[in-house]
Amino acid sequence: MWKYTGRKECNEFLLSLHLFDCKDKTKYIKTLYSISNTIENNYKIYKKKKRSGKYRTIYEPSSLLKYIQKQILCNILNNKSISSYAKAYKKGISLKENAVPHTNKKMILKLDIKEFFDNISFYSVYQACFPIEYFPKSVGILLTYLCTYKDHLVQGAPTSAYISNLVMKEFDEAIGKWCEEKNIFYTRYSDDLTFSGDFIPKEIIGNVRKELYKLGLELNKKKTHVIYRQNRQSVTGLVVNEKVGVSTKYRKKIRQEIYYIKKFGLSSHLEKCKCIVSTEKYLNQLYGKINYVLQIDKENKEFQNYKNYVKMQMNGRRKKNER
């Protein structure tokens, strides 16, 4: 359709996307191309510590690029469907939805895609998101440049998460169909692949490797785990042996914190545990942990009471600060 489209038509197409507010049409076009040609200058790069102690590289786009990416996400990408097997970066879907299919199964196989975002290439993004069937070639390439950095996806751009699901759609469907034929349950949460049922792990791993190879991706051998029913089976942090739930250890830690706050008082508790964050931040974090448990188990009265108690503490601090 767009094979013989000229510069004028391409510019008109770009203008129709309304990627940022600019009444001057010439300036609008020039700005988009200027940003795409100097994309490396439009990111602030920093490291963020992970729970494991290792660091994740975050790429923070400039305010204008971030706005443009949000427009691309809302006006273009969100209109494209993703696979039902994809459980991350999807409105209305939580960790629980990723765990539920794997409840009470004989065995669970967990796989991890190596350096997921870094290995999703410029070409994969172009093909999955802005192909010539729907976009003039120069426009599709421009949009791909606006969503990538040094020819790959980055963590920090608003578009990256949804793009990863679009890139993985064919993979998800191929693996999902193969699994259904063998009565195996499959879900993908970003770079975490989970399989459950009764199967030979090597068969799944071989098939996954073959399909990932088509995308230039590979498995992280260090993060391959087979977990049998007699052991604690967890999927994206949730225990699934009999029903989906937050681990006993996680809930016990919250119980202890509430107990010590009630027994010694908030200030004394923070002093005893040598807490380095502010009181307000500590309460917000504790409130978030309680909400996480209630997201998975809404009817848990014990944690509903904890939520009300912490909320009362937060309100009391707020009123005290307002005086």
Three-state secondary-structure class, residue 229: coil
For 8-48, what is each residue's pLDDT tens digit? Answer: 889 999 999 999 999 999 999 999 999 999 999 999 999 88
> For residue 106, what pLDDT band results from cuts at 50, 70 and 90?
very high
Other Cβ atoms within 10 Å of 20 Cβ, number = 15
pTM: 0.89
DSSP state of 245: E
Q: Amino acid letter at 149?
A: Y
Task: Pull the structure tokens for residue 144.
Answer: 């791909």
Question: What is the Cα–Cα distance from 303 to 283, expressed in whole angstroms?
Answer: 15
Listed in sequence order, the residues at least 6 apart from 277 whose beta carbon sits closer than 8 Å to its beta carbon are: 285
For 136-181, what is each residue's pLDDT tens digit? Answer: 999 999 999 999 999 999 999 999 999 999 999 999 999 999 999 9
The upper half-sphere exposure of residue 316, i.e. CA atoms within 13 Å in the direction of its Cβ, equals 9
Reported in sequence order, the residue ranges of 10-71 that DSSP labels E, i.e. its strands, are 43-49, 55-61
